[in-house]
Every structure is written in structure tokens, then in C-alpha cells.
Structure 1
Amino acid sequence: GAKFRYNREDHFYGVEAKELKGAFMLLDEASVTGTANIVMASVLAKGVTTIYNAACEPYLQQLCKMLNRMGAKISGIGSNMLIIEGVDQLGGTEHTMLPDMIEIGSWIGLAAMTTSELTIKKVSWDDLGQIPNVFAKLGITIERDGDDIHIPAHTEGYEIQSYIDGSIMTISDAPWPGFTPDLLSICLVVATQARGSVLIHQKMFESRLFFVDKLIDMGAKIILCDPHRATIIGHDFKSSLKATTMTSPDIRAGVSLLIAALSAKGTSIIHNIEQIDRGYERIDERLRAIGARIERIDP
């Protein structure tokens, strides 16, 4: 029931409606932001809205559960089909946000690469999906303590698993409940010091593996097979990465390069850290709190 307008000169679009009405929607892709926007619009629309091929990440689930506590009528939470019966109004509620699973995975990778013992508190373990399993495939020991994760110091290194037929392990991304693409770059950098080899396959997005040239400059053994696949041959900590000066291309690659720098021999400089700041609040302060030697240099 909405009207869409687009201003080509200003690259601005608007969507307006006097009243929204329910409809059936089959999404081209399971977009988290797209599903969330449709859900929020549908709860106060007239009639029933069905979203098929809906995203079902924990963040989307918590939004739906919060809206239900506010008076919405949403069913199918956690599946790829959401049915929303419109209501006249919503009320207030209290809500506790889920922890950032990408940050949790980044801390796991950091602990392994720096052979450090680390405890990550209040991780909402049941909402982590494949994350603990994938890091375990890389040989990282992850211990559950209630709702906390404990990573022991990997002083003897860690060994990448192989398939039952002995072929090389492949780690790839997929829409939830598959492994999140935002942690593939972390897995890639962690593998550079593992015992064994792994194929990282970035299926969902373009141009996310081009940061590997910076890791190669640091001494990592990586073969970029094509824009979506990279083979990593681990050093098994027998050879340290070397410090360098680099530029952060995006959030996920940026924090991967930061982890590499923290494990490297010497002093590294990372430019364009605004990219890292977008996804990791006060990252330098929090790293210093656990013993990292890191400084933010003002331009």
C-alpha cells in the first residue's frame, strides 16, 4: 500500500503510505536488514503479512520476540517464514541486547593467534550457532563455562582438522544457521599460524579476500585461488608474521589485520582505522586492558 519515489539527482528515495496493508512477500535473498524493516512495518499494518525466505539470525529473532512482548503477533520466529498479524498499537517493554557474535569470534581468534589465555563473558552461547564448531575445526580449544567462553593458552599451537578421507578442510559461509561471512577473515588469519592447511571459501560477498596480499607481505603462506577462495598453509608458529604498515580496507579485514599485527614480530601501523571503529567500540582501550601494546595515533 505504499508509494515509492526516487530522486535521481540527489540519490534520495522515499516511501510513504496513509495506511499499510498486509501482503505476501517472497524475498530475493534472506536479508537481515530487509526482513527487519518489513517486520517493523508489518506489525502495525492492516491484515496479515507473510515473509518467505526471511532472515532468521538471532538478532532478527530478538527483534521479533521484543515486538511480541510489546503486543505484536509474530509467529514462525527462527524459521524462514514469518507470519505477522497486524495490531492497532504497541506498548512498552524492557529488552537486553544480544552480545555481538562477530566480536566474540574475533576475541577467540585473537586469543589463539597470540597463544593467550582468555575468558569471554556472557556470550549467549545458545545463539552462537556454528561459531564454536568452526573454530574447533581449526584446532582451537573452546571451553564452555556457563554462559562464558574460556580459551586456554595454545602454547603447543593448534592443528586444523581434515576430512575423513584426508582431503583439505574447507570453511565456507552461508546464510544463518550457516557460518557467518563476517568471521571468515578471522578464520583466515588464524589459519596462518595453524598446523596444517585449510581452504577458505567466501561464497556470499565479493572482494572480501583481497586483503590477503597484506598478510602475504607479513610472511603468511596464502594462495589466492580466485576472488572467492584462498588456501592457507599454516606456519605452526615456527615462523612469526613480520610487522608492516598497512591500510584497513573494511571492518572485518581491518580487525583481522589488527590480530595479525598483535601476533607479529615488531611494530605495525594500520591506517584507515575508522573502518575498524565502526564495528569494534573502543577497541584499543579494551585490548590494552588485556595486555596488548597498542596506541591510537591522532592524524
Structure 2
Amino acid sequence: MGIFKIEGGHKLKGAIQPQGAKNEALQILCAVLLTPEKVEIKNIPDIIDVNKLISVLEHLGVKIQKKGKGYYIFQADDLDMSYLESELFKQEGSSLRGSIMIVGPLLARFGKGYIPRPGGDKIGRRRLDTHFEGFINLGAKFRYNREERFYGVESPEGLTGTYMLLDQASVTGTANIVMAAVLAKGTTTIYNAACEPYLQQLCNMLKRMGAKISGVGSNLLTIEGVESLGGCKHTVLPDMIEIGSWIGLAAMTRSEITIKNVSWENLGVIPDTFRKLGITLEKRGDDIYIPEQDHYEIQSYIDGSILTIADAPWPGFTPDLLSIVLVVCTQARGSVLIHQKMFESRLFFVDKLIDMGAKIILCDPHRATVIGHDFQSMLKATTMVSPDIRAGISLLIAALSATGTSTIHNIEQIDRGYENIEERLQAIGARISRLD
């Protein structure tokens, strides 16, 4: 297990380039299974979760060429479907939640898809019903081996388009169903579809491959099935979660930081949400500039009531940034209610912040009230364990702002979502080192 040793309390300065988006890359990589032709993808992040999925694809028989940093060519023209029933797949697939999205493409192209119950963050229940109900609506037969915790769907006769109303606007669920529907016979209509920029990226990539999809960017997608798809070129967007993380880092360490090439048009409400916390950020071309600030004050509502920051399906605020917002508010002027609606275990890392001196009231598994210190009382260094990706980066930001030297264990959780993080932070002045 790796450890980060962090000497906090130092201001940072400089520019940082966000990596490619983790959540988009996982969808896009699964989409290469839909065609026997070559697919070129650029800006793939070099992180554990993405590399695990690339390993799964390689063992499945996908030909993979690495042409440069983040630049790959994939060709799924001779797959070994027997791998899906191997012990190796059960081990690899179960360690990565994103592996669920290989099922849709395999079902569409080969009439069957299998997956062990996938892993990922321990942040609460993350149902797979949306995925499999979508496949069943398209005509697939579902089975589940409870002893081996193995899911399977089969459709030897092929899939048939239909109308479906999703029970929740699941991003991975929508992506999986879309990838299955593009090769189905007839027209598929998906209502209450997710419409995040990463899902839009997937749809636009599929259209370049020859798919017929309308309504991209809305919650109503219409897909006319085609017989086959071809190759294409695609570039992954910058990671909006990482961008939000660096905004929070700048505020907590009172640093002057420029975040480069952020794709402003795909950030939605993220910049304005941080502005509501009193953080100054400027649009400079396609960069975000955050000046050094000694204080930032949380806005109240017009009637004077306490501000609530809550997650919601796009274009609402992404749940992946609520942990960052919570940490940032510990040093704000004012108070805020954080409402994490989607995952009931994601706020359970706040005990570590309380140990550091933060004033947080955990109301229930979904809500926490934060009373900001306004930098009148600094967080104190401590020893912590990273429970998941987003809590891990939040604790790292807290440690960089704290007085003294902190230690974070289980940093593999952070490595799952952030590429070469200590080197990139060191480049802007952070005093952080990795220990075995």
C-alpha cells in the first residue's frame, strides 16, 4: 500500500493541465468493441481504473497500439469470447465498476455479454438494474448466478428497438443501453436519459462511426439501428472533476493557480457553484485563472437562509465534486448545507476532517452542515486513510492546507482517478512525497 506524506500550509503557484476525463474514457473504451475497424483515441488518462479496462480489452482480444502519451489505436476484429467465462475475467472485471459497460457493445455485436459483479468505490449502493432492464427491453434474456455473482444477457436473434423510460438518469446505464441500441433493429427511444457532456461525447463518437442518434444533449434520445459501425478518431474531454478539484485546492491553500484548457462550454454550473462559495475565478480564453485570496465568503439565499449545495443529474451539480465543496467550505466565511442525494456513504469521510479541527455536523448519511473557519483556525495535520477516489483527493487538499505534516494511507484509491498527482502538484510548489 502506498502512502502520501504532505507538508501543509504552503502557498502554491503556477499552471496545471487537467487530465483526460476518467468517466468519459471508460465509456469510449468500451465503444471500440462495436466495430472490427480501427478506433483512434487521444487524451486517455493514465490512471488505474482506465488501465484496468484497457487490460480487460486486451485479454478479450482487442489489438492495442500505444502511439504516445494518452494516444491509442484499438481494433476489435478478432475477439476471444471465451475470456468472458474465465477466472481471469472474473478477477479483472469484478475489480472495476466501469467494466459493466462492455456488456452493451458485446450484446449488440455478438448477441451475448457477461460480467462479474463489478467493484469500485465503497460509497453506497450503486444499482445495475437500469442497465439490465434496458437490455431486457431491447429483447435480451437476463440471468444471474448468485453463487458466483455473475451477470449475463443473451440475444441470439438480435436486439429490437423499443421505447423505454429509465427509472433513473444513470450515466453508465444510459451509455450501456445506447451502445446496445445502435445495432438493434428498428428505432429505440430512451426517455430520462443522462445527458452529461461525457455521454454527449460518446453519442457523437458513435455518430462518427455511423450510428444514427438524435436528441444528443437532452434527456430524450432516439436511435435508429444500423447494421454495422466503422472506425473513427476521438479526443477525450478534460476531466471536469479534476478541474473542480484544482479550484478547491487553490481556494484552500490561498494560491494563485491557472487551470489550462478546461473546455469551458462543458463545465455547466461548476464555475458558478464555486463562485457561490465566494471563490474568485476568471475565464481567460479556455483557461480558469484563480487569484490568491485571503478569504472567501459563502453566499446566502435572497431570504437570508443558509446556502444548500446538492447534487443532481446534469445539468445539475455533479455528485463527484460534493466532497471537494465540503472541504473548501471548512475554511470559508459562513455556513453551508451539503446534501449528497445519490450515495449514502460518501460523506462518511468527514470524521477525518473533524479530527483536523473542521466544524462539521453530520446530520444523516446524506447531509452535512459545515461552519467555516474563515482561516481564523487552520486545520491540523493528522494521519488518514483514503476511502474512495473523491474523498481521497478531498483529504489531500485538506492536508495541503493544514498546519504540519499529514500522512494519507491507501492512496491507490486516489491513483484510480488522478494521473501522476504528486508530480503535478510538486510542479506548482506542493510539498508531497510518495512512500512505499
State if a TM-score over 0.5 links the two structures.
yes
Pick aligned residue for 1:137 from 252, 267, 276: 276
Pick aligned residue for 1:205 from 340, 343, 353: 343
State whether structure 2 residue 203 is matched by structure 1 residue 64.
yes
Which secondary structure state, in structure 2, belongs to the residue aligned with residue 295 of structure 1?
Answer: strand
Structure-1 separation of matches of 2:324 and 2:171: 21
Structure-2 separation of matches of 1:127 and 1:60: 12
In the TM superposition, 1:185-224 aligns within 5 A as 185-224=323-362
Pick aligned residue for 2:259 from 99, 114, 120: 120
Q: What is the Cα deviation at residue 231 of structure 1? A: 1.1
Which secondary structure state, in structure 2, belongs to the residue aligned with residue 279 of structure 1?
Answer: coil
Structure-2 separation of matches of 1:115 and 1:293: 15
State whether structure 2 residue 202 is matched by structure 1 residue 81.
no
Structure-2 separation of matches of 1:115 and 1:294: 17
State whether structure 2 residue 307 is matched by structure 1 residue 176.
no
Q: Name the aligned partner's letter for residue 197 of structure 1.
A: S
Q: Which moved more, 1:53-62 or 1:225-234?
A: 225-234
Pick aligned residue for 2:167 from 17, 24, 28: 28
State whether structure 2 residue 155 is matched by structure 1 residue 12.
no
State whether structure 2 residue 395 is matched by structure 1 residue 230.
no
Q: What is residue 248 of structure 1 aligned with on the other side?
A: 386
Pick aligned residue for 1:163 from 301, 307, 312: 301
Q: What is the Cα deviation at residue 153 of structure 1? A: 0.8
Q: What is the Cα deviation at residue 130 of structure 1? A: 0.8
Q: What is residue 239 of structure 2 aligned with on the other side?
A: 100
Structure 2, unaligned stretches of length 5 or more? Answer: 1-138
Q: What is the Cα deviation at residue 92 of structure 1? A: 1.9
Structure-2 separation of matches of 1:95 and 1:288: 31
Q: Which moved more, 1:260-269 or 1:19-28?
A: 19-28
Structure number with the higher helix fraction is 2
Q: Which moved more, 1:277-286 or 1:132-141?
A: 277-286
Q: Name the aligned partner's letter for residue 59 of structure 1.
A: Y
Q: What is the Cα deviation at residue 23 of structure 1? A: 1.4
Deviations 1:224-250 (A, max 9, x none): 122211111111111110000011111
Deviations 1:118-156 (A, max 9, x none): 1111111111011001000000011001111111111x2
Q: What is the Cα deviation at residue 289 of structure 1? A: 1.3
Pick aligned residue for 1:268 from 406, 409, 414: 406
Structure-1 separation of matches of 2:228 and 2:387: 44
What value does the CA root-mean-square deviation take over the aligned residues? 1.0
Deviations 1:213-270 (A, max 9, x none): 1111101111112221111111111111000001111111111000000000000001
Structure-2 separation of matches of 1:257 and 1:32: 26
Q: What is the Cα deviation at residue 17 of structure 1? A: 1.8
Per chain length, whose mean CA-contact separation is higher, i.e. which structure has more relative contact order (CA < 8 Å, sep 6+)?
Answer: 2
Q: What is residue 286 of structure 1 aligned with on the other side?
A: 424
Q: What is the Cα deviation at residue 89 of structure 1? A: 1.6
Structure 1, unaligned stretches of length 5 or more? Answer: none
Q: What is the Cα deviation at residue 20 of structure 1? A: 1.3
Structure-2 separation of matches of 1:95 and 1:151: 30
Q: What is residue 43 of structure 1 aligned with on the other side?
A: 182
Which secondary structure state, in structure 2, belongs to the residue aligned with residue 49 of structure 1?
Answer: strand
Structure-2 separation of matches of 1:66 and 1:286: 30
Structure-2 separation of matches of 1:94 and 1:180: 28
Q: What is the Cα deviation at residue 15 of structure 1? A: 1.4
Which secondary structure state, in structure 2, belongs to the residue aligned with residue 136 of structure 1?
Answer: helix
The TM-score normalised by the length of structure 2 is 0.67
Q: Which moved more, 1:7-16 or 1:189-198?
A: 7-16
The TM-score normalised by the length of structure 1 is 0.97
Q: What is the Cα deviation at residue 77 of structure 1? A: 0.6
Structure-2 separation of matches of 1:122 and 1:113: 22
Deviations 1:96-125 (A, max 9, x none): 111111000000000110011111111111
Structure-1 separation of matches of 2:348 and 2:141: 40
Which secondary structure state, in structure 2, belongs to the residue aligned with residue 51 of structure 1?
Answer: strand
Q: What is residue 152 of structure 1 aligned with on the other side?
A: 291
Query: How many residues are paired up?
Result: 297
Structure-2 separation of matches of 1:112 and 1:237: 11
Q: What is the Cα deviation at residue 3 of structure 1? A: 2.1
Structure-1 separation of matches of 2:329 and 2:142: 47
Q: Name the aligned partner's letter for residue 155 of structure 2.
A: A
Query: Percent identity at matched positions?
Result: 82
Q: What is the Cα deviation at residue 5 of structure 1? A: 2.2
Which secondary structure state, in structure 2, belongs to the residue aligned with residue 296 of structure 1?
Answer: strand
